[in-house]
Amino acid sequence: MFLIDTSAWIFVLGPRPRLELRDRVALLVLENQAVTCAPVIFEILRGARTVREAELLKQRLLSLHVLPFREIDWSSAAAWSALLARKGTSTKSMDLLIAYQAWRNDLTLLHADKDFDRIAQASNLKVESWVSRLHKKR
């Protein structure tokens, strides 16, 4: 199973989709292997340009496996973040919450954000990184 990060969705749903990543995500969705979580849903909906677009995005995201974010997860994510910080790895809070969800649920985090690669180097977070494929000059 794959938790698909916002950084990947941007290249799938944005105005100039990257076909290779779009095909990869479509395959995961069709195979029922795509997972999302509240922080990703928040970030995607926050970027919607209209109420209609937000509703459509919400419906599509909620059709995936949605990870619960329980009260205990907040403190556990904070403790995991502190452990990473002691190893010299710190990053944005939302990214840490997303990475924690993937790590806690033993999912592979599909992303296009180098911060997740740094988190993976400092932990046993499994990632499918698209950073080098998507951020090289076209």
How far does Cα 38 stand from its chain's mean position?
10
Q: Kindly list the structural domains of the chain, giving each domain's residue range(s) and its CATH number in brackets, ordered by start.
A: 2-132 (3.40.50.1010)
* pLDDT tens figures, 2-46: 999 999 999 999 888 999 999 999 999 999 999 999 999 999 999
pLDDT band at residue 137 using 50, 70 and 90 as cut-offs? low
pLDDT at 66: 98
30: number of Cβ within 10 Å: 9
* pLDDT tens figures, 40-63: 999 999 999 999 999 999 999 999
pLDDT at 15: 87
Query: Residue 62 corresponds to which amino acid?
Result: L
Helix (H) or strand (E) holding 125: none
pTM attached to this predicted model? 0.93
d(CA 117, CA 58): 27
